[in-house]
């Protein structure tokens, strides 16, 4: 198992290319189930989760061809073709490590009239039940059975009739599953209280390119008119707003000046608003975002919320940055109940953080020092990298397989802007 060694103190300066969005890509790939024609996705990040989802598609009989396999390439192009689905079962061995696997439930049910999917795994950041996924599909006419760790879904003879569903709370994954199920339903479906994240807009735009009829894209009220069939398409995955925000924090904590090439300022507006409050200079244009830290960092109070609020996936990274702010900051986590697991590791590096329930109080500025630390989940891993870049001495980050799930060639991108970071085998 590999680990990262970071020697802190270098000011980051230069340009970092932003990859395609992991959270969008994992929603777009299962759209290949919905059509017999080829679906080509461009700008796919090179990540363990993408490889895992590719294997899952192969399990269903969907062929995959990948371009951009050279070691020096950022991003890849994948063509998926599901002329004939040979299995509607997503087995435990393929699903257990990747929560996004549940997103095959809706499209498989829509096309094949049945789907059997193992209960998903993923990061241990809190309780993430799939009850809203199942309730939305039941509202569209599906029969659901939970047995021996699997979800079994059946559509009536002739396919899903469609229906209406009102989300009691915002759920990104359930909105995505419901959308993919509704596009091939026999009637019109309506989703109210739907999630509005940019990744859902990306999904709607791909489905529309495939011939789906969706009204209200970008809003919380979606109307989907079912169609008989969908065609193939070629589509570019949106840039990763969380990766861009993470590298912005890395630049800021080192007093750096970094251009995030390809980042979308619109998609990461809440993160950029928070960074302006902290005192960073932000420049936006059509080709990317520039982040510069030219004055002392200021404390702030932040609360995570569904889009357009501050993404929960940015909370850990901003917490590391605020360890260097001149005063006390308060971060409230409203999405997941167990997303402060990085706090004990940051305190090993000298951070002054107290937690009470879903609130963290960060006192700064502190002198961070290198230490041996352990990653606990994907975004927690990145928070440790950010802290290490501003620490005195050497930091060793273990269990970095979490990072490989969500950051394409992280150490190489940080090396591009002057970080002293290397990946080595963990003895």
| Cis peptide bond N-terminal to 308, omega within 30 | yes
Is 253 a known ligand-binding residue? no
Is 405 a known ligand-binding residue? no
Q: How far is CA 119 from the centre of its chain?
A: 19
Q: Residue 417 has which token pair?
A: 């802007």
Helix intervals (H) in 210-303: 241-253, 269-278
Is 132 a known ligand-binding residue? yes
- Specify the DSSP class assigned to residue 296: -
Alpha-carbon span 311 to 319, nearest angstrom: 13
* 123: annotated active-site residue: yes
Is 23 a known ligand-binding residue? yes
Q: Which of 123, 204, 249, 323 is catalytic?
A: 123
Alpha-carbon span 166 to 194, nearest angstrom: 8
Is 166 a known ligand-binding residue? no
97 CB burial (10 A radius; 0-12, 13-18, 19+): middle
- Specify the DSSP class assigned to residue 167: -
For CA atoms 163, 168, 170, 172, give the dihedral sign.
negative
Q: Residue 248 has which token pair?
A: 């912005």
Order of strands, sheet of 394-398, starting from the edge strand that comes earlier in the sequence: 372-374, 394-398, 2-7, 420-425
112 CB burial (10 A radius; 0-12, 13-18, 19+): middle
Give phi and psi for 33, each to the nearest 5.
-65, -25
Is 49 a known ligand-binding residue? no
Q: How many residues does the chain have?
A: 427
Order of strands, sheet of 301-303, starting from the edge strand that comes earlier in the sequence: 301-303, 328-332, 359-363, 352-356
Q: Which of 362, 275, 357, 336 is nearest to 123 (CA)?
A: 336
Q: Which of 390, 386, 383 is nearest to 360 (CA)?
A: 383
Residue tagged 């940055």 (tokens): 321
Query: What number of other Cβ atoms are within 10 A of residue 220's Cβ?
Result: 16
Is 129 a known ligand-binding residue? yes
Is 352 a known ligand-binding residue? no
Alpha-carbon span 305 to 329, nearest angstrom: 17
Helices (H) and strands (E) in the chain, counts: 14, 24
- Provide the annotated binding site for UDP-N-acetyl-alpha-D-glucosamine: 99, 128-132, 313, 335
- Provide the annotated binding site for phosphoenolpyruvate: 22-23
Catalytic residues: 123
- Provide the annotated binding site: 22-23, 99, 128-132, 313, 335
């Amino acid at each position: 198992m590999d680990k990262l060694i970071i020697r802190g103190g270098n000011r980051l300066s230069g340009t970092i290319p932003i990859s395609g969005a992991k959270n969008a890509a994992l929603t777009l790939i299962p759209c290949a189930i919905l059509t017999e024609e080829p679906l080509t996705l461009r700008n796919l990040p090179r990540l363990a989760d993408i490889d895992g989802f590719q294997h899952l598609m192969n399990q269903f009989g969907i062929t995959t061809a990948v371009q951009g396999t050279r070691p020096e390439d950022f991003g890849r192009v994948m063509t998926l073709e599901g002329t004939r689905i040979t299995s509607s079962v997503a087995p435990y061995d393929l699903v257990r490590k990747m929560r996004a696997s549940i997103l095959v439930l809706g499209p498989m049910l829509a096309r094949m009239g049945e789907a059997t999917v193992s209960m998903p795994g993923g990061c241990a950041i809190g309780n993430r039940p799939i009850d809203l996924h199942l309730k939305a599909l039941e509202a569209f006419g599906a029969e659901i059975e939970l047995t021996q760790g699997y979800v079994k879904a059946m559509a009536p003879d002739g396919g899903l009739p469609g229906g209406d569903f009102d989300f009691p709370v915002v759920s990104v994954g359930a909105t995505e599953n419901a959308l993919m199920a509704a596009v091939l339903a026999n009637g019109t479906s309506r989703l109210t209280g739907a999630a509005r994240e940019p990744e859902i807009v990306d999904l709607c735009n791909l489905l529309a390119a495939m011939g789906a009829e969706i009204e209200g894209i970008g809003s919380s009220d979606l109307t989907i008119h079912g169609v008989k069939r969908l065609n193939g398409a070629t589509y570019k995955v949106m840039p990763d707003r969380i990766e861009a925000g993470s590298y912005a924090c890395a630049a800021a904590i080192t007093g750096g000046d970094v251009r995030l090439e390809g980042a979308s300022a619109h998609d990461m507006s809440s993160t950029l608003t928070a960074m302006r409050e902290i005192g960073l200079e932000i420049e936006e244009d059509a080709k990317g975002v520039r982040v510069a830290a030219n004055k002392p960092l200021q404390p702030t109070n932040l609360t995570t919320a569904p889009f357009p609020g501050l993404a929960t996936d940015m909370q850990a990274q901003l917490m590391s940055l605020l360890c260097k702010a001149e005063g006390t900051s308060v971060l409230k986590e409203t999405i997941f109940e167990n997303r402060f697991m990085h706090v004990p590791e940051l305190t090993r590096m000298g951070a002054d953080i107290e937690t009470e329930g879903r609130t963290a109080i960060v006192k700064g500025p502190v002198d961070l020092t290198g230490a041996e630390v352990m990653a606990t989940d994907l975004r927690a891993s990145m928070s440790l990298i950010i802290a290490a870049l501003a620490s005195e001495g050497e930091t060793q980050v273990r269990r970095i397989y979490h990072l490989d799930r969500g950051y394409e060639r992280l150490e190489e991108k940080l090396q591009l802007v002057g970080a002293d970071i290397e990946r080595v085998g963990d003895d």
